Amino acid sequence: MAVRMELSRILICEMHDLQIIELTEVGGERKFPILIGLAEAEAIKRRFQGLTVKRPLTHDLLANTIEAFGAMLESVTINDLSDHTFFAQLNIRMPDGEMLQIDSRPSDAIALGVATDVPIFVEEFVLNEAQSEL
């Protein structure tokens, strides 16, 4: 079963290659960090704050492509954790009602989802495993 989470923190340190985003359980107390790259952290921050750029960046391009096909990003799910690496999927509703599940890095999925405020889910076993690694 998947647990609803929300982005609670973005920690950016421009002096290092790895940045941190933190997800917190909606209506609960569980939380965990995910290490991501600087470009992805900046993209999440920019999209979260609603900042626009003159030309679309990668996450904007994907969002525009999904919209151009008449589809809609419904949710993001972090669905696996293996060798300290998280895996995610984009849950995209097509115009005919079909649900597509597209593999993604969590940082890209969250960057894509935060601008449109789509729900973020984490599979229970992933959340438990992430908690045990803290």
pTM for the model: 0.91
Contact in structure between 32 and 22 (CB atoms under 8 Å): yes
| 42 Cβ contact list (under 8 Å, min separation 6) | 12
Identify whether the C-beta of residue 90 lies closer than 8 Å to the C-beta of residue 110.
no
Query: Nearest-5° angle of CA 90, CA 59, CA 45?
Result: 100
CA–CA gap between residue 80 and residue 13 (Å, rounded): 26
The DSSP call for residue 98 is P
Q: Hey, what are 110's tokens? A: 């969250």
pLDDT at residue 134, rounded to an integer = 65
Domain covering 2-133, topology? Bifunctional nuclease domain (3.10.690)
- Per-10-residue mean pLDDT for the chain, 134 residues long? 94 83 95 91 87 87 94 98 95 98 96 89 95 74
Strand partners, 78: 88, 122
